[in-house]
Amino acid sequence: MSKFKKKTEVKQEIPTSSMPDVVFMLLFFFMVTTELRETAIEVKQSIPKATQLRKLMRKSLVANLYIGEPTKPALYGKEPKIQADDVFIEPKDIVRWVNEKKSELAENERDQLTVSLKVDKDAKRGIISDVEIELRKANARKLLYSTLQVKEDE
Amino acid sequence: MARSTPSIPNSSMADIAFLLLTFFLVTTTMPNNSGLSIALPPPPEATPPEDVKIQERNMFKIQVNSSDALLIEGEPREDLHNLKDEIKAFVLNNGRDPASSDNPEKAIVSFKTDRGTSHKRFIEILDIIQGAYYDIYADQAGVTNAKFREAASDLSIPENKAIYDKGRDGIPLNISIADPTKVGGN
């Protein structure tokens, strides 16, 4: 019996004094990497997947356009719409929007503006090609179809 | 006189930190700035329609209709497995097969969709076409496909520019994305 009693005296606690340090480290990581959204996206965004992705290095040169079915069909209907910043726009407004985006950049970087199209995978080519024609008119010819990475089996 | 050392209770610090951590965990979105990159042609009115004669043999035609069905070089197709290899063989034909392209500079991959084609299908096909070209470039530059695309993303570094130029030498990225047809409505 005495043998058993001795065994129970072994200390079994996990040291928790360093837990706040660990938590703070994680906290700082997420605080640094996080970016708060400036815009609430009001169109469906189920982004398609692809394998041959290229990255855009400079975020300041990217302007985003969101295209998809509105998430609130009661308010905006079911037809796919184009969202730029915080508002829905029509294809004819795109030239003005591009010029606004260009005027925010330094003069020597204006021709490097890349438009990133974040298109829902169920959207149709029709609306996207309307956008492309307007972008050509606005002379913003660098285009990126935003996609996610597929895991390649090679 | 016993002096009591003043102290702030810090047992709840971990709780507060956890609360903040949870908040940032939930609100964080990792920025996604990657995708398929293309260059659009100049505005329609700036280039008057020229009557450029392109020989039939130098065109690789891919057409997609409004129900996402595929027509490749005039033949209906379901299976996309060999498409990438076919495009590679077409571009690098160099006049060997009289039915295929003269040389990589003349070879054009023409991709035509309908207004009713879904974006998912469009991305799927564009991915295959670009994949074929990147494979060719990577082969010519002697690096892997992933490495070539990484180099192409940042040309400000001289080494990357060297890889990019070596890969692209003599083989332009001739992907023509035509204005969609209007059969399938909006």
Could you write out the DSSP letters of every residue in chain B?
-PPPPP----TTHHHHHHHHHHHHHHH------EEEEEEPPPPGGGS--------GGGEEEEEE-TT--EEETTEEE---TTHHHHHHHHHT-TTSSTTS-S-TTT-EEEEE-BTTSBHHHHHHHHHHHHHHHHHHHHHHHTS-HHHHHHHHH-TTSHHHHHHHHHHHTT----EEEPPPBSTT--
The whole-model pTM stands at 0.78
In chain A, domain spans:
49-149
Angstrom distance (rounded) from CA B170 to CA B140: 10
Residue given tokens 């309908």 in the structure block: B114
Angstrom distance (rounded) from CA B63 to CA B110: 8
Is pLDDT of A136 > 50? yes
Residues of A with CB below 8 A from B178's CB?
Answer: none
Out of B33, B119, B130, name the one closest to residue A55 (CB).
B33
**In contact, B67 and B116? CB cutoff 8 Å:** yes
User: What 3-state class would DSSP assign to A51?
Assistant: coil
**Residue B108, strand partner residues:** B59
Interface touch A142/B149, C-beta < 8 Å: no
ipTM of the prediction greater than 0.90, yes or no: no
Out of A35, A47, A54, name the one closest to residue B152 (CB).
A54
Interface touch B32/A47, C-beta < 8 Å: yes
Between positions 76 and 135 of A, the ones with CB within 8 A of B are 79, 114, 116, 119-129, 132-133, 135
Angstrom distance (rounded) from CA B130 to CA A115: 19
Angstrom distance (rounded) from CA A143 to CA A28: 34
Q: B52 or A16: whose pLDDT is higher? A: A16
Is pLDDT of B185 > 60? no
Provide the pairing of β-strand A142-146 with A87-89.
Answer: unpaired
**In contact, B140 and B169? CB cutoff 8 Å:** yes
Share of chain A above pLDDT 90, in %: 0
> Which CATH number is A49-149 given?
3.30.420.270
**In contact, A53 and A152? CB cutoff 8 Å:** no
C-alpha dihedral, B7 to B8 to B9 to B15, nearest 10°: -150
Which pLDDT score, from 0 to 100, does residue A1 have? 53
Per residue in B131-169, pLDDT (tens digit) is 888 888 888 888 888 888 888 888 888 888 888 888 888
Q: A101 or A151: whose pLDDT is higher? A: A101
Which pLDDT score, from 0 to 100, does residue A5 have? 58
- B102-105: list long-range contacts, CB under 8 Å, 24+ apart: B102/B55, B102/B57, B102/B58, B104/B136, B104/B170, B104/B171, B104/B172, B105/B170, B105/B171, B105/B172
Token code pair at residue B149: 């695309």
B49 confidence band (pLDDT: 50, 70, 90): low
Per residue in A85-124, pLDDT (tens digit) is 888 888 888 889 989 888 888 888 888 888 888 898 888 8
A154 confidence band (pLDDT: 50, 70, 90): very low
Is pLDDT of A61 > 50? yes
Per residue in B87-133, pLDDT (tens digit) is 888 888 887 877 788 888 888 888 888 888 888 888 888 988 988 88
Which pLDDT score, from 0 to 100, does residue B6 have? 84
- From B64, B62, B83, select the one nearest B72 (Cα to Cα): B62
Out of A24, A51, A143, name the one closest to residue B131 (CB).
A51
Is pLDDT of B40 > 80? yes
The 10 Å Cβ neighbour count of residue B94 is 12
Is pLDDT of A11 > 80? no
Token code pair at residue A78: 């079911």
Please state which of the ranges A76-80, B37-41, B96-100 shows the lowest mean pLDDT.
Answer: B96-100
What is the mean predicted confidence (pLDDT) over A31-49?
79
Which pLDDT score, from 0 to 100, does residue B97 have? 79
Helix (H) or strand (E) holding A143: strand A142-146
Which pLDDT score, from 0 to 100, does residue A152 have? 57
Mean of the per-residue pLDDT values of chain B? 82
Which pLDDT score, from 0 to 100, does residue B108 have? 86
Q: Which residue from B minimizes the CA distance to A136?
A: B43
